[in-house]
Structure 1
Amino acid sequence: MSAPPAEDLVRQWESEQARLRQQVVEEDTEDWQRSPDFSGLERVGGVDLSFIKGDDVNACAQLVILSYPDLEVLYEDSQMVTLTAPYIAGFLAFRETPFLLEALQRLQENQPTLLPQVVFVDGNGLFHYREFGLACHLGVLSGLPCVGVAKNLLQVQGVYKSEEHQSQIAALQRGGDSFPLTAASGKVLGKVWQRTDTQK
Structure 2
Amino acid sequence: MMSEEEKQVKSYSEASTTSSVEIQNWIEAQDLLKKKLIKEDDLEGNGDDLKYVGGVDISFLKEDSSVACGTLVVMDLQTLQVVYDDFSLVTVQVPYVPGFLAFRESSSVPMNAPVLLELLERMKKRAPLLYPQLLMVDGNGILHPRGFGLASHLGVLANLPTIGIGKNLHHVDGLTQTSVRKLLSEGKNNDSIITLKGISGSIWGVAMRSTVDSLKPLYVSIGHRVSLDTAIEIVKITCKYRVPEPIRQVKRIPQEISNGSVRKNNFIAKSDVTYNC
**Structure 2 spans left out of the alignment, 5+ residues:** 1-16, 106-112, 217-277
- Structure index of larger Rg: 2
How do residues 1-200 of structure 1 correspond to structure 2 at under 5 angstroms?
6-30=19-43, 39-53=48-62, 55-96=64-105, 97-162=113-178, 164-171=179-186, 177-199=192-214, 200=216
Cα RMSD for the two superposed structures? 2.2
Cα deviation, 1:80-135, whole Å, max 9, x if unaligned, reads 22122221111001124211111111111211111111100000000001100000
Aligned length: 192
For 1:24, the aligned partner's letter is L
Cα deviation, 1:130-164, whole Å, max 9, x if unaligned, reads 100000000000000011101111111221134x4
For 1:194, the aligned partner's letter is R
Q: Distance in 1 between matches of 2:85 and 2:191?
A: 27
- The offset of 1:171, in angstroms, is 3.0
Do 1:172 and 1:194's aligned partners in 2 also have CA atoms closer than 8 Å? Answer: no
SS in 2 for 1:57: strand
- The offset of 1:175, in angstroms, is 9.9
Do 2:184 and 2:192's aligned partners in 1 also have CA atoms closer than 8 Å? Answer: no
Do 2:56 and 2:70's aligned partners in 1 also have CA atoms closer than 8 Å? Answer: yes
TM-score (norm 1): 0.87
Deviating beyond 6 angstroms after TM superposition, the runs of 4 or more aligned structure 1 residues are 172-176
- The offset of 1:28, in angstroms, is 0.7
| Identity value in percent | 39
2:254 corresponds in structure 1 to: none
Do 1:175 and 1:195's aligned partners in 2 also have CA atoms closer than 8 Å? Answer: no
Given the superposition, is the C-alpha separation of residues 110 and 80 from structure 1 closer, same or farther in structure 2, using an over 3 Å criterion?
A: same
TM-score (norm 2): 0.64
Structure number with higher relative contact order (C-alpha < 8 Å, ≥ 6 residues apart): 2
Do 1:174 and 1:197's aligned partners in 2 also have CA atoms closer than 8 Å? Answer: no
Q: Distance in 2 between matches of 1:102 and 1:94?
A: 15
Q: Distance in 1 between matches of 2:68 and 2:99?
A: 19
Given the superposition, is the C-alpha separation of residues 40 and 122 from structure 1 closer, same or farther in structure 2, using an over 3 Å criterion?
A: same
- The offset of 1:176, in angstroms, is 6.5
